[in-house]
Structure 1
């Protein structure tokens, strides 16, 4: 953990660089490697082909991100990280937002470790350092 998931409407795919967004998101999370182990970091983007925004009369678009983390981080660190992530998202889409209707949102999903199953040998690579 953490997992970062970004959903975006397909009507903006040619106007933005989602791979670059994920790269910038990783920079933020890696900067907090004492809170979030690098070996557990995952991100993914989901292009939405079927959606409806507002009243459906315009070519509106949206981007919604979810940060999923295990329980145990302080409220202060969650705020610092989420503020930094949303700043990256806002900056990434600022030019696009100045040209078209676009809704940006992000949520933090924190869950207990009970009921989650994980196996990961990537951590070992970073623990050698």
Structure 2
């Protein structure tokens, strides 16, 4: 853990900021210093959505990060602030060119309901 889901409106699929956003999210998550690289999963998914008044130029990006429990409120707040700052900065050129709604949320998953089978730590760095 953590896992990130990025949804975006199809009208921005070819924008350069979106093409590098997944890596930017990963880099920001690692920069927090609280997430293990072997636990990162980042999904990027185009969605057919209606944004605002329905104008075809309206763009949308939603980033949701789910993390395991056990970190203090301050640690989570600092991580969320850093991730939002980095990702917002990454997307600013896109927002400067047209309408963009960007939302970010970080959710904690109770460990009692989080099951895993993961041997990636044995391979990370060997591949």
Give the TM-score taking structure 2 as reference length.
0.87
1:125, distance to aligned residue in structure 2 (A): 4.3
Native 8 Å contact 1:18 1:45 kept in 2: no
Tell me the C-alpha RMSD between the 2 structures: 2.1
Q: Deviations for 1:21-51, whole angstroms, at most 9, x for unmatched residues?
A: 2222222222344x22221111111111x21
SS at match of 2:35: coil
**What residue ranges of structure 1 are gaps of 5+ in the alignment?**
none
* Secondary structure at the counterpart of residue 93 of structure 1: helix
Answer yes or no: is the 8 Å Cα contact 1:25–1:85 preserved in 2: yes
For residue 105 of structure 1, the aligned residue among 103, 106, 124 is: 103
Structure 1 residue aligned with 2:23: 23
Deviation at 1:74, TM superposition (A): 1.0
Tell me the residue number matched to 2:90. 92
CA distance in structure 1 between the partners assigned to 2:89 and 2:32 by the alignment:
20
TM-score (norm 1): 0.86
Contact 1:7-1:46 within 8 A present in 2 as well: yes
